[in-house]
Each structure stands twice: as C-alpha cells, then as structure tokens.
Amino acid sequence: MKTLDVVIVGGGMITNDLLLPSVYHLQRTGYVNNIKVCALDSAPLKALKNSKEISEAFPGQDFEAFPPLSEPEDKKFPDLYQEVIASMKPRQMVVVAMPDHLHYPVVIDALKNNQHVLCVKPLVLKYEQAAEIEKIAFEKGLFVGVEYHKRFDRRSLVAKRSYELNQFGEFVMGEAKLVEPYLYRYSNFQNWFTCDRTDPFVYIGCHYVDLVYFITGLKPVEVSVSGVKGKFPNGNEGYLWANGRVRFENNAILSVIDGLGYPDQAAGSNEQNLQMFFEGDNKTGMLKHNDQFRGVEHSYLEGIGCGGSFFNYVSPDFYRLVPWEGNGFKPIGYGPDSVSASITMACQIETEVQDLSLPDSLAKRQEMIRNVDKKGIIATPANSYINELVVEAARISILNDGEIVDIKYGENPHVKLRPKK
Ligand SMILES: NC(=O)c1ccc[n+]([C@@H]2O[C@H](COP(=O)([O-])OP(=O)(O)OC[C@H]3O[C@@H](n4cnc5c(N)ncnc54)[C@H](O)[C@@H]3O)[C@@H](O)[C@H]2O)c1
C-alpha cells in the first residue's frame, strides 16, 4: 500500500479527541508516513505534544508542529497553513480541522496544491462552495472525504441496509437530539461560535440530517430553525440552543434539538438519539437509537468523567483507546473507522495508479472517486451536498426567526427564503 504524508490543519478538540490518534494509528499500521500539524498558534500544539493520553497510546510517535513550540502562544499565524501545504509532495493528504467558516479556503488551497483532502463536517457552509470543491477535485483526480462519522456507527449501517431492504417501510416522522456538554461554552468555541457564523443545528444537528439522508436516501426540501441566544463566558453572543424542522422530498418530517448545554454533572457525556417512524402496508415500522446510553455504566473513584462527573454512561462505540496486540493503545470506534476510511481510500487510489501514465492515472483516479460517490458510504462533496444546502438554509432560517427556507434541486440547486403569506 502506498503511504501518504498527512498535514492536519487545526490542532483543537477534534484533532486531540479523534484525528491525531487515528492518524497515528494509521502511521503505525502502514498507511501514513510523515505527520505535520498546523494551528493558529503554538498553544494547542503544545497541548497535543504534552498529552499524556496520546503519548502513552502512541509511544515513539511524533508530529512536526507549525508554528514551532518555541513561538510565543499569543503570536498568531493565520496564513502559515498555506506554506505548510505548499511544501508537500503532490497527492498526499490534508486533514482540515479548523472552525467551520475556515474550511473553504483551506480545502481550496489543498486542492490547488494537488492534495487529497479529509475535512471535518460540515465541509463548507454554502452549496456553491461544495459544488466548486467537487468540480476542482474531480478535474484533478483528488479525493475529498467529509468526516460524517455517524455514517460509520454500526447501527447506522444496519439501519441503512434494513431500509434498503424495505424492512421498515417509508420514512414519515422522526426526532433527533444532540446536545453537547455545558463545558463547551468555556472552550475555544466562545471565540468562533457566534450568532453570525454558526449555531448548534449547523454544528451538530447536521449529523442527524445527514444520517436520515444516509439511511433513507431522501433529500431534504424544506428547513426551519429557531434559536435561543445566550452569552459565552467571554461575553460573545451565540445561539446556545436550536430547534430545527426538516421536511424531506416525500413529505416526511425530522425534528432536531441541539444545544451546548448538557449538564456537566450528568452521566452523559452528552445527549443524543434518533427515532424514526415509517409507513408500511396497513402497519408502521420504527427504529430507535439511543446514541448516548449504549449500555455501559462506569462509576469512578475520582471525578474523571466529562465535566468532572463520577458516574458516567460510557460509549465504547465512538472513540476509545484500548489495549491491543501492539505497543501502546489502539483507537477504536466509528470515529477512527471514519477517518481511516477516507485516508486509506486515498492510499488505495494512489496505490492503484502508481505505475500508470499521467493521463491513465487521472482517468483511474476519477473512476475510483466516482465509485466512492456512488457507493455513498464515505461522505463526499458529490454524495453529501444536501448537507451544504441544509446548512445554508438553516443559517438563513435561524437569522430570520425560524422562517421556512426551501431547497430547490435540479440543474442549479439553491435555497430560497419562503415569502411570507
Ligand atoms: N462530531 C464531529 O464531527 C465534530 C466534533 C467536533 C468538531 N468538529 C469540527 O471540527 C472543526 C474544529 O472543531 P474543534 O472542536 O477542534 O475546534 P477548536 O476551536 O477546538 O479548534 C480549532 C483549531 O483551529 C485552529 N485554527 C484556527 N485558525 C487557524 C488558522 N488560520 N490556521 C491554522 N489553524 C487554525 C486553532 O488553532 C485550533 O487549534 C469544526 O469544523 C467542527 O465543526 C466535528
């Protein structure tokens, strides 16, 4: 298998909690070569380097930090990622893990520098940007994966298969919740999670909209989101809660509740679940996923749970470091599975084309990219663009006090605020 160099742009929570450990594991299992992490300043890079959990799990493994740790923490390097990406060999991998509104320039920069991309969700905040990314990537034969890891949760894959086999009937009504811990309000979120940029529906509700689309294949056609504003500890104003309603092309409705407010003292570490009802012939079908309490309860001697809690519902399914046959600990769960699916896909593509002429290589890469798009398991700009339309519609709706925004498909997909009657 061809190994790839990886540059992670963004050194925050998701890099610490999922991306870097997953990439380290891929390095020691023979998919990833050299690893660089680029952040806005040296502070998060120091935290990653000093993480006891990460160094115990991946003994002897390291990454190159940009900016170097010797730089003062208050010195900002907003454009350094451009230099780091420009210095890469062609057709390696850039992992984009910075705040939502910064994904677009970094993904475009990576593609212009001939790099495969894995971007955390949401890929971008506008449909037109997703379409542009898809076009540039396809023309250059570059793979772009979007890290919608809930697609890799086994229960989602089982549900998708059952829906395809018509074991439930047709989706008609659903409810989802994803409420992140209160302590998020004290994190770096307070600097970027402001009303003008994002909201809880866009930040996490999109996971469940994508999931319903993933399971059913139904496209969302109408979005309405109402928010509740509040202040972060630094005084910035953000939507701290949101309630969204999404209508799908067959008239089905999904209601989604999101927030940054699951009690730190509770067993959480957050609240999340999905229930869907389906219409069959003279009967109905249903699925119910409790994505928070997965049947594992731990009560610790010290308050080591999320938010300092002692008693916790522990999910072994998203991301855990566990003992394995090799050195250190191994990341398991649908998070690492999802990261691995995109990075190993790029490795697979590069392995297939390594002995081909440039034109043959491009044709083969394009064919493989189209196959991933069609398969619809890994989210790509081509098979998950409904999310950009939903996000775009949601932003308009929440800023207009929950007015309905329509999504139009066809030649030129777009969103439109529905005129008041
Ligand atoms: N469930 C999920 O899929 C999930 C969970 C968490 C976060 N995310 C996504 O990951 C992204 C990052 O979230 P996070 O929680 O890690 O945020 P964070 O605020 O903890 O970290 C953001 C990082 O971006 C870096 N950054 C900002 N500007 C930069 C620049 N110009 N150049 C280089 N680095 C820069 C900062 O230094 C910081 O390390 C967001 O898009 C978020 O939506 C997804």
- Answer for the pair 383, 217: CB distance below 8 angstroms, yes or no: no
Task: Write the pLDDT tens digit of every residue in 69-100.
Answer: 999 999 999 999 999 999 999 999 999 999 88
Please check the confidence at residue 420 and state whether its pLDDT lies above 90.
no
Q: How confident is the model at residue 142 (pLDDT cuts 50, 70, 90)?
A: very high
Nearest 5°: phi and psi at 397? -65, -50
Whether ligand 1 lies within 6 angstroms of the CB of 205 is answered as no
Whether ligand 1 lies within 6 angstroms of the CB of 12 is answered as yes
Please check the confidence at residue 205 and state whether its pLDDT lies above 90.
yes
Please check the confidence at residue 10 and state whether its pLDDT lies above 90.
yes
Q: How confident is the model at residue 421 (pLDDT cuts 50, 70, 90)?
A: confident
- Beta-carbon-side half-sphere exposure of residue 255 (alpha carbons within 13 Å): 5
Whether ligand 1 lies within 6 angstroms of the CB of 121 is answered as yes
Closest CA to 43 of 84, 77, 17, 79: 77
Whether ligand 1 lies within 6 angstroms of the CB of 37 is answered as no
Mean pLDDT of the chain: 96
Task: Write the pLDDT tens digit of every residue in 157-193.
Answer: 999 999 999 999 999 999 999 999 999 999 988 998 9
Q: For 109-123, 213-227, 306-320, 369-383, which range has the lowest pLDDT when averaged over its residues? A: 306-320
Burial of 362 (0-12, 13-18, 19+ CB in 10 A): middle
Other Cβ atoms less than 10 A from the Cβ of 97: the count is 27
Report d(CA 318, CA 154) in Å as an integer.
10
Q: How confident is the model at residue 107 (pLDDT cuts 50, 70, 90)?
A: very high
Distance 13 CA to ligand 1 centre (A): 7
* Position in ligand 1 atom list of the atom nearest CA 15: 16
Closest CA to 353 of 342, 361, 345, 363: 361
Interval 115-139 mean pLDDT: 96
Instruction: Tell me what pLDDT residue 100 has.
Output: 85
Q: How confident is the model at residue 140 (pLDDT cuts 50, 70, 90)?
A: very high
State what percent of residues in the chain have pLDDT above 70: 100
Take residue 107 and report the two structure tokens written for it.
Answer: 């993904």
Task: Write the pLDDT tens digit of every residue in 233-248.
Answer: 999 999 999 999 999 9
- Residue with the nearest Cα to atom 17 of ligand 1? 12
Instruction: Tell me what pLDDT residue 101 has.
Output: 85
Interval 271-299 mean pLDDT: 97
Whether ligand 1 lies within 6 angstroms of the CB of 125 is answered as no
Report d(CA 346, CA 88) in Å as an integer.
15
Interval 253-268 mean pLDDT: 95
